[in-house]
Structure 1
Amino acid sequence: MADDNLGSVDTESTSMNSEGRKKLHGWLNKRMKICMTDGRTLIGTFLCTDKDRNVILGSCEEYVNPPDSEEKEDPRVLGLAMVPGPHIVSINVDLYTPSQAVV
C-alpha cells in the first residue's frame, strides 16, 4: 500500500527555507560583525552556520570594547572562531564588495 503523502512537499516551508538559504548564501565570504552577550565584538569573514545558529568566522578579530568606541584598542586575533548561537546579540553584514565599486 503506497502512502500518497510521501512525495508531497510543504511548498510554504520550502519557499521560506529557500529564501533563508539564498540570504545566507549571499553572506558567504562577507565581513560580519557579531556583538555577543558578554559585550565582546567579533569581526571576521562569514564561512558557515548550523541548525543551532552557531556561526563560523574566518580571519576573526575580537574587540573587548566596541570597535567604534572612543577608547581605541588593538584587536586580539583569533583566526578561525566558532560563535555560539545563544550568545549572539546582533549581526551586521558588510554587503559592499570592492568589485562593486564604481571607478
Structure 2
Amino acid sequence: MEGSFGSDQVILNPEDAYCNSSTTTPPETTSNSSQHVAKLRKMLLRRMLIRVNDGRYFFGLFHCIDKQGNILLQDAVEYRSARHSSSPTKQRSLGLILIPAACRSSCHIDYSFEESMSLLSLDK
C-alpha cells in the first residue's frame, strides 16, 4: 500500500457534514455547522484509508460524506489479507464506492502534521 499515514485518526461525524440553511435554525447552530463544513471541504480529494469491520481496507480519494456518516471514496482500491495464498494481501480496484458508517471501524486521512492538528482542534 502506498502513502504514509500517521497515527492521527480523524473522526468523521454525520453532524459535521450536514449544513441546514433553514431560517428557523438558531444563528449559533448555523455558524457551528458552517465551521464543520469548512473543515470537511479541506478534506476533499485527500487520500483516505478506511478499515471496515470485516478486516478489509479501502484506500481512495475522499469524495463526500452524507448526513448519516456514509463516506464516498473515488478511485478506491480494496486491500484484504489472503488467508490461502502466499501473498500477504490481495488488492482489487473498485472505482467509486460508498462505505456505510455502521461498517467503518477506523478512518485515516493523509495530512501534514500541522493540518492534522488544526482539524483535530476542539472549538467550543
Runs of 4+ with deviation above 6 angstroms:
none
User: Is the counterpart of residue 15 in structure 1 residue 60 in structure 2?
Assistant: no
Which stretches in structure 2 are left out of the alignment for 5+ residues? 1-21, 82-86, 113-124
Give the 5 Å matches for 1:81-92: 81-92=97-108
CA contact 2:80–2:90 (8 Å) conserved in 1: no
Q: Give the aligned partner of residue 14 of structure 2.
A: none
Identity, in percent, stands at 34
Letter in 1 for 2:102: P
Letter in 2 for 1:26: K
Superposed CA deviations along residues 25-52 of structure 1, whole A, max 9, x for unmatched, are 0010110011111111100001111111
Give me the TM-score of the superposition, normalised by structure 1: 0.73
> How far does residue 7 in structure 1 lie from its aligned partner after superposition?
5.2
> How far does residue 11 in structure 1 lie from its aligned partner after superposition?
2.3
Q: Give the aligned partner of residue 56 of structure 2.
A: 40
Give the whole-Å Cα distance in 1 for the aligned partners of 2:99 and 2:57. Answer: 11
Q: Tell me the C-alpha RMSD between the 2 structures.
A: 2.0
Give me the TM-score of the superposition, normalised by structure 2: 0.62
Give the whole-Å Cα distance in 2 for the aligned partners of 1:36 and 1:73. Answer: 15
Give the 5 Å matches for 1:1-103: 9-65=25-81, 72-96=88-112
Superposed CA deviations along residues 41-71 of structure 1, whole A, max 9, x for unmatched, are 1000011111111111011011113xxxxx6
Aligned length: 86
Indicate the structure (1 or 2) with the bigger Cα radius of gyration.
1
Letter in 2 for 1:25: R
